[in-house]
Amino acid sequence: MRISDNAALVVIDVQNAWNDQDYFPPRNNPAAEDNMARLIDTWQAAGRPVVFVRHDSPEPDSPLRPGQQGNDLQDFVQERRGKGSGPELFVTKTVNSAFLGTPDLGRWLDEAGIRQLVVIGIMTNWCVETTARMGGNLGYDVIVPVDATYTFDAVGPDGESLTADELFRATATNLHAGRFAKIAPTAALVQLG
């Protein structure tokens, strides 16, 4: 696997709300934040572009709605914004895909000649997977280090629960089998960085 000199790291929805254990069910992958931080640091040190994405929920009871502390980026991400020598973009969105946010992510990538994306963040099977799928559909070379993501247990329409680990594995399988994205560990991407 090769990482292009201008591959963009897309950091999805790493916001305070996800830490609210009273609101969200159990999560997986406790190493996710460390892996996200390593990738951001690697991208910034190399002068590669980094895109920070924030979900601004329109739902009145969501802890991710604007004006709430839960909407803020987590400290380890916020303190890294503006620290790299490469280009940086901040996107806000109200849906799952970062490609449907403001400003227009696809236009920014295309104007910069960026064709490769590394997508990390929260939640593995929602906004990370949706952004990766859409990026693949739009013709970008997408890489997802799933160990730099996490998700939560969820209940399906049949009332049966799937664990965060099951959903995590399903996302990696969906992206790989559907050829939406390549799956790679953070360590491999940091080495190539």
> Does residue 47 lie in a domain region?
yes
Per-residue confidence at 59, pLDDT binned at 50, 70, 90? very high
Question: What are the pLDDT digits (tens) for 11-21?
Answer: 999 999 999 98
- Answer yes or no: is 2 within a domain: no
The pair of three-digit structure tokens given for residue 20, joined into one six-digit string:
């609210």
Report the run of H or E that residue 36 belongs to, with start and end.
helix 32-45
Count how many domains the chain has: 1
Q: Which domain holds residue 158?
A: 8-191
Q: Give percent helix, percent strand, percent coil of the chain, each to the nearest 5.
A: 40, 20, 40
Looking at the domain assignment, is residue 186 inside a domain? yes
Angle, alpha carbons 124-32-171 (nearest 5°): 25
What's the average model confidence in pLDDT over 65-93?
A: 97
Is the per-residue pLDDT at 193 higher than 70? no
E strand residue ranges, 3-129? 8-12, 50-55, 88-93, 116-122
- The predicted pLDDT at position 192 comes to 76
- CATH label of the domain that carries residue 106: 3.40.50.850
- In angstroms, rounded to a whole number, what is the distance separating the alpha carbons of residues 185 and 84? 22
- In-domain check, residue 78: yes
Rg (C-alpha) for the chain, rounded Å, is 16
Give all strands (DSSP E) within 94-171, no chain letters.
Answer: 116-122, 141-144, 149-150, 154-155, 161-162
